[in-house]
A and B are shown apart, each in its own frame.
Chain A
Amino acid sequence: MANADATPVLELSGIGKEFGAIRALHGVDMHVMPGEVVGLMGDNGAGKSTLVKIIAGNFRPSHGEIRFAGKAVHFSRPVDARAVGIEVVYQDLALSDNLTAAANVFLGRELKRKFGPIALLDHKAMAARALELFGELRSETRPDDLVKQMSGGQRQAVAIARTRLSNARLVMMDEPTAAISVRQVEQVLGLIHRLKEQGVAVMLISHRMPDVFAVCDRVIVMRRGEKRADKPIHETSPEEVTALITGAKEAA
């Protein structure tokens, strides 16, 4: 891993995005190292979501370049981003309530067994692999339970297990702790630590200051479409970050 540590998994240079006359992003440079957890903070309309959508392949940037693991990449669809190893855990988790945990983990990439010309789902293998993933994430989640019966923390585990399936190298999490209980927040932060342990880079998009300071190595603050700060977490404080988000402090 020593070699991989030297190259950032994701590197953005001069990223800008215009929607008609509106400049949503301007000149954003940033990088994320393997196994690093980066917090992305900013008020509503600061450009966080636009940035995430550009990295995830939902939008194409108007300016600038994206490099993934050292190579320049151009995404025209989310599938392209996923193909190189970028996974997004969406705020609403993108789970189908009426399916089991294992079915959700494998949604769109089901394991199958061939019976002559017919390919049937391999339920056993999927359940076993899902259980393995939940074990890695130390989550008490049973593969055969329906997602609609699960707690917020378990649902997060299902959404995160999905990213582990493809051995993603960068996982972006959009507000994973926004609507869940205190105990479940602990679980989700634990899940982020598990990803980090396994050398996965994580970008955490969050409004919750305590969570960012609990789990991130570095924090990036966006304001009015520009990057205003990019600091290791131990060199800053919640007060400073708040000042940067609100504009009380222009840049750091």
Chain B
Amino acid sequence: MAMPMESPVMFSNVGKTKWWQRGIFASQTGYVLLALAVLLVIMHFASPYFFTEGNIQNVAKNFSFIAIATLGVTFVIITGGIDLSVGSMMCFSAMITSMVMTELSAPGSPAGALFVHMAADGKTVVANLPGLILLVSILAGLGVALIAGLVNGFCIAVLGLSPFVTTLGMLSIVRGLGYVVSNGRGSFPGGPDADRFYALTSGDVLGVPVPFIYLIVLALAMAVVLHHTSFGRHVFALGGNEKAAELTGIPVVRVKIEVYVLCALAAGLQGIIISGWLGSAPANMATSYELNVIAAAVIGGANLAGGIGGPLGAIVGCVLLEVIRNGLVLAQVSSYWQQTLVGVIIILAVLVDRIRSRMN
């Protein structure tokens, strides 16, 4: 049916948008990145300790502790949703992981008998297959996150409940379950695979903290998924115009469930990593982290109205928050100022973006 083009399409009345007015340069992420660069320069002059290897490692580790969950919540925010349950999810996944690990490492118990046996000296517990306990316990932790994410997604996409209310409920449910299973005491990774667990979660490779490596790998994967797969395209379409997405035949329900599951899994993984660094999973772990995570995503340019966001923004938001925290410590300002400053920055970042879009 295609007709030959009689005349090439000409653009006489519209010019091409200038490079600094499109892409990252015209986005909030770009402005915040610039602000971050300025801040780093100021920090360098303000404190001789800032750019020392130890401090940079510390900063990289600290922001990686919320950045993976921020990647997950960014998916949800791009679709125009919100997930308030990430903090509780971190705690619950971490708790289940360390509880399963401890349980499977008890030689006397029926489950433990499959995984461990006593060494000849009668005191040391030895794994039947090194690493298997670790694998099973991490899968268990991610499994509970998967279930919670599915429930979130089902309530929001199928039953049509509001994301805010659903995930607020899930925040409470998951936190409560954490207290129930641990009796409020929290849990500790233990058994023959514990050292392996610590190495995987809080170790480093050639001086680079492993959480940071996970973050970079996941962020790159997320960038590919968002911009080069049809799933990513549908995530953006959903945030841009949900009705249009539905009318064009996008499986809206499936995409929504998938983003909440992805978000829950990211939070679960994040929680497991944090518990490795803490050495335990206390029942009040990661309380109110959902606010830091959402704040970082918003500062980095994710739009709560949907349709805008990405992994770079998520990371930039997290780095900015951590550099400010770190800077206040180095400058010996009372750390109580931190929260106030974070609030100011959230509003400033959104304000600058608003002023910019008014000017265009």
- Chain A 30-67, CB-CB to B under 8 Å as 1, else 0, gives 00000000000000000000000000000000000000
Total A-B Cβ pairs within 8 A = 95
One of B12, B14, B250 near A107 (C-beta < 8 A): B250
* Binary B-proximity of A117-149 (CB < 8 A = 1, otherwise 0): 011110100000001101110111110010001
The number of residues on chain B lying at the interface, defined by a beta carbon within 8 Å of a beta carbon of chain A, is 35
Whether A97 lies near B240 (C-beta < 8 A) is: yes
B359 CB → nearest A CB, Å:
15
Secondary structure class of chain B's binding surface, majority of residues: loop
Q: Find out whether the CB atom of A120 lies under 8 angstroms from the CB atom of B228.
A: yes
A198 to chain B, nearest CB (A): 6
Given A121-B228, A140-B9, A140-B14; A167-B1 close (CB under 8 Å): yes
User: Separation in Å of the A140 CB from the closest CB of chain B?
Assistant: 5
Whether, in the assembled complex, B236 has its beta carbon less than 8 Å from a beta carbon of chain A, the answer is yes
Binds B, one of A11-19, A88-96, A235-243: A88-96
Pick the contact of B1 from A79, A120, A198 — CB < 8 Å? A198
CB-defined contacts of B7 to chain A, threshold 8 Å: 138
Is A95 within 8 A of B244, CB to CB? yes
CA distance A223 to B266 in the complex (A): 56
Q: Indicate whether B181 reaches chain A with its CB closer than 8 angstroms.
A: no
With a cutoff of 8 Å between Cβ atoms, the chain A residues found around residue B245 in the complex are 96, 107-108
Report how far A112 CA is from B228 CA in the complex, Å: 9
Q: Are B307 and A98 in contact (CB under 8 A)?
A: yes
Specify which of A96, A120, A139 is in contact with B240 (CB 8 Å cutoff).
Answer: A96
Contacting B307 at CB < 8 Å: which of A92, A96, A118, A134? A96
Whether A107 lies near B229 (C-beta < 8 A) is no
**A97 to chain B: which residues have CB within 8 Å?**
240-241, 307
The number of chain A residues touching the other chain, given as a range, is 35 or more
| Contact A96 B241, beta carbon cutoff 8 Å | yes
Which residue of A79, A107, A123 is within 8 Å of B244 (Cβ)? A107
Write out the residue numbers on chain A whose beta carbons fall within 8 Å of the beta carbon of B247: 78, 88, 90, 94
What 13 additional pairs, Cβ within 8 angstroms, besides A95-B244, A97-B307, A142-B16?
A88-B247, A94-B243, A94-B247, A95-B241, A103-B237, A107-B244, A121-B227, A121-B230, A135-B5, A140-B13, A142-B14, A162-B248, A198-B1
Pairs across A and B, CB under 8 Å, 30 listed: A78-B249, A79-B249, A90-B247, A94-B241, A96-B236, A96-B245, A96-B307, A97-B240, A98-B308, A107-B233, A108-B250, A109-B249, A110-B230, A110-B233, A120-B224, A120-B229, A121-B227, A132-B2, A132-B5, A134-B9, A135-B8, A136-B3, A136-B5, A139-B9, A140-B10, A140-B12, A142-B11, A145-B17, A149-B17, A167-B1
